[in-house]
Amino acid sequence: MFDQRERRDLEKRMKEQNRLPPGQSATIKFPVLHYGPVPRVDLAQWDFRVFGLVEEERRWTWAEFNELPRTQLVLDIHCVTRWSKFDTVWEGVSVKTLVERGFIRPKPEARYVVQHCEVGYTTNTPLEFVLQDGFILATHFDGQPLTPDHGYPLRGVAGVVGGRRADDKYFWKGGKWLRGLEFRADDQPGFWERNGYHNVADIWKEQRHSWPGF
Ligand SMILES: Nc1nc2c(c(=O)[nH]1)N[C@H]1C(S)=C(S)[C@@H](COP(=O)(O)O)O[C@H]1N2
Ligand SMILES: [Mo]
């Protein structure tokens, strides 16, 4: 059983440090949230594609993906359903690093990125969002490979690193069971964005839903 007192103390501490966005509560657990079934993944068939407005489209097998430069990251994550989890530890591949090291070369016209996941789930952000430190393509959580529920073998993670920034976004902007990144000139609303969630998803402005007054 998780201790209510421990949770409340954490929430108070995070609030004092200005790390608790409006309307959120701290959790010590790690809730699971997604639409549809957990896809079964065969790593022998798995690939990761980088396509659209890039100088060269890419396709990496699971073995190749694991040869890419790796990053560890500590993030606060904020779900639109109002739970926040602090100091979560992720490991995987940083899109920023891939761009800096020439593994991905976005064309100058590329301004948005769509994350493509198993069974057609997508989520969209500006290109700058996936290029900042608060976004990672994660294979590991807390030192262990992702569990199927949390996106095994690969997920996008959208979180907050090192204090508040202008473009901190809710956790749904990280797609679980991620299979590719599409670079685009125009924005393309993803699954939750077409189903009522806010396109921008700024956690500090509480951009939860796109319906006014909801
Ligand atoms: N493929 C996929 N990714 C998804 C979702 C989904 O429905 N499908 N839901 C998003 C939402 S709303 C949240 S809050 C987080 C939840 O991640 P978790 O289950 O690891 O907590 O995943 C995001 N990524
Ligand atoms: Mo969510």
The pLDDT of 138-153, averaged and rounded, is 98
- Whether the predicted pLDDT of 212 surpasses 90: no
pLDDT above 70: percentage of residues in the chain: 98
Ligand 1: residue whose CA is nearest its atom 11: 172
Using a 10 angstrom Cβ sphere, with 0-12 exposed, 13-18 middle and 19 or more buried, the burial of residue 43 is: exposed
* pLDDT tens-digit map of 175-188: 999 999 999 999 99
| Widest pairwise Cα distance in the chain | 53
| Beta carbon of 179 within 6 Å of any ligand 1 atom | no
Ligand 1: residue whose CA is nearest its atom 13: 172
d(CA 198, CA 204): 13
Cα-to-centroid distance, 33 and ligand 2 (Å): 6
d(CA 87, CA 162): 10
Which ligand lies nearest to the CA atom of residue 148 in the structure?
Answer: 1
Residue with tokens 């022998």: 44
Cα distances from 186 to residues 33, 51, 111, 114, 134, in angstroms, run 28, 14, 7, 10, 22
Model pLDDT, residue 103: 98
Ligand 1: residue whose CA is nearest its atom 18: 32
The pLDDT of 140-167, averaged and rounded, is 94
Beta strands 122-126; 58-61: pairing state: unpaired
3-state secondary structure of 33: coil
The pLDDT of 23-43, averaged and rounded, is 96
* pLDDT tens-digit map of 55-77: 999 999 999 999 999 999 999 99
